């Protein structure tokens, strides 16, 4: 897990939207949630100090969309491919 300079845990998430990615720039609360990175037409990547539950609640309320319309997933890369 990533940490800030003062030792706080920092979370790295991918946020996938079913119906295309909404604009987040109008919301001060979303901009304060973390560092948003544009990843195409349906995806953002965000680095935040908040956990996924807090992030999901805030995104849903600020964008006025149902929690079923987007997915928040940890952004981790694993190079392990099990043999089948």
Q: What is the CATH number of the domain that holds 22?
A: 3.30.70
Phi then psi for residue 61, to 5 deg, are -75, -40
Global confidence as pTM: 0.81
Domain span holding position 21: 2-74
pLDDT per residue as tens digits for the range 38-84: 999 999 999 999 989 999 999 999 999 999 999 999 987 555 555 54
How many Cβ atoms are within 10 Å of 41's Cβ, its own excluded? 8
Work out the number of other CB atoms within 10 angstroms of the CB of residue 33.
20
Strands annotated E in 1-84: 2-3, 9-17, 34-38, 43-48, 70-74
Tell me whether residue 80 is in a domain.
no
User: Could you give the CA distance from residue 1 to residue 17 in angstroms, rounded to a whole number?
Assistant: 24
Question: How many domains does one find in the chain?
Answer: 1
Report yes or no on 20 lying in a domain: yes
Q: Look at residue 15 and tell me if it is in a domain.
A: yes
- pLDDT tens digits, residue range 6-24? 888 889 999 999 999 999 9
61, part of any domain: yes
83 occurs within a structural domain: no
């Amino acid at each position: 897990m990533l940490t800030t300079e003062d030792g706080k845990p920092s979370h790295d998430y991918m946020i996938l939207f079913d119906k295309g990615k909404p604009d987040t720039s109008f919301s001060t609360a979303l901009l304060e949630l973390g560092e948003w990175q544009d990843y195409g037409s349906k995806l953002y990547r965000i680095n935040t100090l908040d956990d996924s539950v807090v992030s999901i609640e805030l995104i849903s309320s600020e964008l006025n969309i149902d929690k079923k319309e987007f997915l928040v997933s940890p952004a981790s890369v694993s190079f392990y491919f099990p043999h089948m």
